[in-house]
Amino acid sequence: MSSSSYDIVTVGGGLAASAFAASMASKGMRVLVLEKELQFKDRVRGEYLGTWGVKEAQELGIQNTLLTSGATEIPFVEMGFGLRNLVETTSQRLPGVSFFHPEMQETLLGEAQRAGAEVRRGVSVTNVQTGPHPSVAAASNGREQTISARLIVIADGRGSVARKWAGFSTKNDAHPFHFAGVLLEGVSGRRDVCTFVFHPELGLVGGIVPQSKDRCRAYLGYPIDGGFTLQGSEKLGTFLAESKKVGPMFADCYANARSLGPLAAFDAGYTWVDHPYRDGVVLIGEAAAVSDPSFGQGMSLTLRDARVLRDAISNHSNWDQAGHSYAQQHDTYFQRIHTVCCWLRSLFQEQGPEADARRQRAMPRILEDGSRVPDHLFGGPELPLDEAVRARFFGEH
Ligand SMILES: Cc1cc2nc3c(=O)[nH]c(=O)nc-3n(C[C@H](O)[C@H](O)[C@H](O)COP(=O)(O)OP(=O)(O)OC[C@H]3O[C@@H](n4cnc5c(N)ncnc54)[C@H](O)[C@@H]3O)c2cc1C
């Protein structure tokens, strides 16, 4: 069976696909979302959206939906340099926002549906065809269907298989770190502060993201040769013990913590596709680029993708040109974030004599003047990024 009555078909219905589908359906486009899961569960994903991502949510018109559906505004951030008020100190004048990821997937998929998109759950895409009439093969209840559209949007997440079917090849920048997360209750501490603190000598980064319902998402980044792993709920004791080494605040916060979900760890390396568009098929979200979760940039990038692709389509009647325009912009903003995160990691997380020497030179100057730290994690990829910014951060001036 074959059908081709759509402008856009998305492979996947996560944040990337649903944010994009909602914005295109609200412009009157015929959008079909194909999502394999009937119900979303906790896969341990991003739950803190930094300020430049909140701005993207505003631009996409979904910020209010997030806030009326269980998301919480978090105005403060603590990164070990003192409490920072993001509303007062970022160019966006916005707080960060936190939420439970599966709830937000449901909310945004509902938003896409309300905007007029057709959402089919329990449907697995099994193939993608590029070309003048791009199409997907979709399987559900033992039946397979070919569906064509003007544009196929691959948004099937970090382990994307669909991009291989469409002929994209990936690049990698491996880093010897893992990043683990678990949902906790009973965590003490302020509910309006998101904490991300590095312990450079141990190569650790601990994160606490308060959410509604008195829950917190706890994260820990750690070196793969640190002598422990954090995969599986039986490792909760190790997760808490290692987190407490990041600083005394973690020991206080986690004194009565109890787990509410799976504990899972992920590779912290980068995987991306250069120029994520070809022949009627475009990649967005983590299918286009996976960033190091230690720096919490994934969802901001994901919403940026949805917004840039939406705008490219609005500005070009030729959607092939729109796809290329999006892909060019994606290469630029993703690589800027990639560059900054690598600088931050080399100073705050890497271990060994060279890293120690970098810290000895840079840290006293940073402690005197925190503006030496590039602020792209909050300010976004458009902040200045050149040799002067790099040298100032590493204390070479
Ligand atoms: C541990 C961890 C912590 C993170 N922390 C942060 C953070 O604090 N801040 C931040 O901004 N980002 C963070 N991120 C990144 C963030 O989670 C991602 O950027 C975001 O989830 C990407 O959304 P997506 O829609 O691209 O992918 P996903 O959320 O993975 O969505 C893909 C969807 O596609 C569906 N799918 C897959 N294959 C098929 C198929 N063949 N057919 C149909 N459907 C399919 C899946 O079921 C899924 O629903 C973190 C990531 C990890 C792993």
Mean pLDDT of 251-261: 94
Using pLDDT thresholds of 50, 70 and 90, give the confidence band for residue 397: confident
How remote is the CA of residue 88 from the centroid of ligand 1, in Å? 30
Using pLDDT thresholds of 50, 70 and 90, give the confidence band for residue 368: very high
DSSP 152-181: EEE---TT-SHHHHTT---EEE--SEEEEE
pLDDT of residue 63: 92
Pairwise CA distance, residues 362 & 295, whole Å: 20
How remote is the CA of residue 288 from the centroid of ligand 1, in Å? 11
Q: What is the pLDDT of residues 182-196, one digit of tens each?
A: 999 999 999 999 999
How remote is the CA of residue 100 from the centroid of ligand 1, in Å? 13
Report the residue among 43, 156, 334 best suited for mutation to probe ligand 1: largest number of ligand atoms under 8 A from its CB: 156
Q: Is the pLDDT of residue 316 over 70?
A: yes
Using pLDDT thresholds of 50, 70 and 90, give the confidence band for residue 264: very high
pLDDT of residue 300: 98
Nearest residue (CA) to ligand 1, atom 49:
14
pLDDT of residue 3: 52
Pairwise CA distance, residues 101 & 71, whole Å: 10
Using pLDDT thresholds of 50, 70 and 90, give the confidence band for residue 250: very high
Mean pLDDT of 196-223: 95
Q: What is the pLDDT of residues 79-112, one digit of tens each?
A: 988 999 999 999 999 999 999 999 999 999 999 9
In this structure, the strands spanning 135-140 and 277-278 are unpaired
Q: Considering the chain, what is the average pLDDT of its residues?
A: 96
pLDDT of residue 172: 96
Q: What is the pLDDT of residues 267-290, one digit of tens each?
A: 999 999 999 999 999 999 999 999
Pairwise CA distance, residues 306 & 304, whole Å: 5
pLDDT of residue 4: 57
Contacts of 387 (CB under 8 A, 6+ apart): none
How remote is the CA of residue 356 from the centroid of ligand 1, in Å? 34
Pocket of ligand 1, beta carbon within 6 A? 11-17, 34-37, 44-49, 53, 124-125, 155-158, 162, 179, 181, 266, 285-286, 293, 296-300, 302
Asked if residues 114 and 68 have their Cβ atoms less than 8 Å apart, the reply is no
Asked if residues 95 and 53 have their Cβ atoms less than 8 Å apart, the reply is no
pTM of the entire structure? Answer: 0.97
- The secondary structure of 220-238, three-state, reads EEEECCCCCCCCCHHHHHH
